[in-house]
Amino acid sequence: MVQTRTLTNGLRIVTEDIPTVRSMTIGIWIGSGSRYESAEENGISHFLEHMFFKGTSTRTASEIAESFDKIGGHVNAFTSKEYTCFYAKVLDQHAKQALSTLADMLFYSTFDETELEKERQVIAEEIKMVDDTPDDIIHDYLDEASFGNHPLGRPILGTEETIQTFTRNSLIKHMDRCYTADNIVISLAGNKTEEVMEHIESLFGGLHSRPNHLERSIMAPSFLTGKTAKQKETEQAHLCLGFPGLPADHEDVYSLTLLNNALGGSMSSRLFQSIREEKGLAYSVFSYHAPFIDSGLLTIYVGSSLEQLDEMYEATMATIQDVKAKGLTVKELENGKEQLKGNIMLGLESTSSKMSRNGKNELMLGHHRSLDEVIQRIEAVGLEDIKKTAEYVFQTDYSLSLISREGTYPTTLWQESLL
């Protein structure tokens, strides 16, 4: 059972007690991501995430790592468009020690100038690595084509230019703006004790709070139909198509999830069967839906040789057109429901997945649906719901990003819309 406790300073603690395990997964979720950055700040949330591991007033970077290694645990972090998460998985008997180290990192990091310069180079290399991986960077290009100058259109890592401008003061300023009690959720899943809860309150109860200082209701993006082609010396052409999605809490999000699953979210999906199995045009073909607090993006990715780009594009558009016109079959819908239910239930068998689900839901949505309620919502989706969702998603135009050695669009792209 998921329970939520709010401290007097506004910080929320969400817990799922699992007394049958001997582990504890801890996640600290902060509403700090690339969405809440100006163009000049682009990448600062990710940069700050890195710097929290680089030493505090009482621990060096190596001592932070050792503090988890010596108790047989592990620690990591990630930054997304809308949040940053620091997480650790340890034996239940070491939960207080792990929390103390995480709190030390968040409250007492020194942001040493020497470490800052080294990490600036590390992140520059990370940006170059992504840029050298066409099937990765293509998705950043699609975000830009879909959202333009809106913060959701910018890369999470920032750029080599913006990261050069970050200073110790700018990192502290960003932390002061975003790392406040009202903007933080601590998620615990595992063998929880009241002693651990009291320890969290002692560590985080004094954190300052400034409700509403962070503009959570930042203007929703308009979906654009931008199209961009980049020239790179690649063996394959990498193509992404983008379509308007739905917010994370939209009533039709389960309908869209089932639609995506049938379109390109599994090995039995239409795109996989048509483009890979029947036509042999690609090794990698898939689709996914990325929901945000007020919008979303449905993405289709295909990688194939440049010589097969036109055929691949036409096959993809034909599949989309068929789904839009006819919807799904009864078999596709029923198979999709069982697959989705199985994925959800099997995915929640670890403390890590439970911690992640609960932390994200509390931070982004502010509520938690029980597994039974989720299953009921999935079961309630009908064929007409899928068709309505498909008609909304697959509108008359779409965004597109392409990477190829010639940097040229499919010749059929500029013909009359296949939609």
pLDDT mean over 385-405: 94
Q: Is the pLDDT of residue 231 over 50?
A: yes
Q: pLDDT > 90: what percent of the chain?
A: 91
Which tokens in the block code for residue 366? Answer: 């502010």
Whose tokens are 């293509």? That residue is: 138
Rounded CA-CA distance 194/245 in Å is 41
- Residue 74 region, left (φ>0) first, then alpha (ψ -120 to 50), else beta? beta
pLDDT at residue 42 greater than cutoff 70: yes
Helix (H, G, I), strand (E, B) or coil at 41: coil
The pLDDT value recorded for residue 271 is 97
Q: Is the pLDDT of residue 245 over 80?
A: yes
- How would residue 415 be classed by pLDDT, with cut points 50, 70 and 90? low
What value does the CA radius of gyration of the chain take, rounded to a whole number of Å?
A: 23
> Taking the CB of residue 117, how many other CB atoms lie within 10 A of it?
10
Q: What is residue 286's three-state secondary structure?
A: strand
pLDDT of residue 399: 96
Which of 188, 285, 236, 214 lies closest to 35, judged by CA?
214
Q: Tell me, what amino acid is at 275?
A: I
State the pLDDT at residue 210: 75
Q: What would the pLDDT profile of 109-144 be if each residue is shown by its tens digit?
A: 999 999 999 999 999 999 999 999 999 999 999 999
Gap between the Cα atoms of 292 and 188, Å rounded: 23
Q: Which long-range contacts (CB under 8 A, 24 or more apart) does 332-339 make?
A: 332/262, 333/258, 333/262, 333/381, 333/382, 333/383, 333/386, 335/268, 336/258, 336/261, 336/262, 337/258, 337/378, 337/379, 337/381, 339/261, 339/266
Mean pLDDT rounded to a whole number for the chain: 94
Helix axes 371-380, 330-347, angle to 10 degrees: 170
Say if residue 412's pLDDT is above 80. Answer: no
Collapsed DSSP state (helix, strand, coil) of residue 28: strand
Lowest-pLDDT choice from 26-35, 358-367, 407-416: 407-416
**pLDDT given for residue 406 in this prediction:** 87
**Ranges of each domain in the chain:** 2-204, 227-414
Is there a shared CATH topology between the 2-204 domain and the 227-414 domain? yes
CATH of 2-204, one of 3.40.140.10, 3.40.50.970, 3.40.50.2000, 3.30.830.10: 3.30.830.10
> 135-144, 292-301, 378-387, 399-408: which has the minimum mean pLDDT?
399-408
**Under 8 Å CB-to-CB from 312, ≥6 apart: which residues?**
237, 239, 275, 281, 282, 302, 304, 410
Dihedral, CA of residue 69, residue 32, residue 355 and residue 77, to nearest 10: -20
pLDDT at 227 exceeding the cut of 50? yes
- pLDDT for 297 beyond 70: yes
Average pLDDT of the segment spanning 51-59:
96
From 55, 97, 51, 50, select the one nearest 72 (Cα to Cα): 97
Per-residue pLDDT band for 419 (boundaries 50, 70, 90) equals low
Q: Given a cut of 90, is residue 396 above it in pLDDT?
A: no
Q: What would the mean pLDDT of 264-271 be, rounded to a whole number?
A: 95
Question: Rounded to the nearest 10 degrees, what angle do helices 113-131 and 134-147 cross at?
Answer: 90
pLDDT at 194 over 70: yes
If pLDDT is split at 50, 70 and 90, which confidence band does 1 have?
confident
Among 200, 264, 250, residue whose Cα is nearest residue 27: 200
Q: Which CATH number fits domain 227-414: 3.30.830.10, 3.10.350.10, 3.40.50.2300, 3.40.50.150?
A: 3.30.830.10
Do 275 and 282 contact (CB within 8 A), yes or no?
yes
Better pLDDT: 412 or 375: 375
The confidence band for 217, taking pLDDT boundaries of 50, 70 and 90, is very low
Per-residue pLDDT of 71-84, as tens digits, reads: 999 999 999 999 99
The span from the CA of 337 to the CA of 342, in Å, is 8
**Which residues are identified as catalytic?**
49
**pLDDT on residue 213:** 54
Beta pairing class for 284-291 and 84-91 = unpaired
Least confident span in 40-44, 212-216, 351-355: 212-216
Residue 152 has pLDDT above 60, yes or no: yes
Instruction: Tell me the pLDDT band of 281, cut-offs 50, 70 and 90.
Output: very high
Average pLDDT of span 334-356: 93
Specify the pLDDT at position 293: 95
Q: Inform me whether the pLDDT recorded for 67 exceeds 60.
A: yes
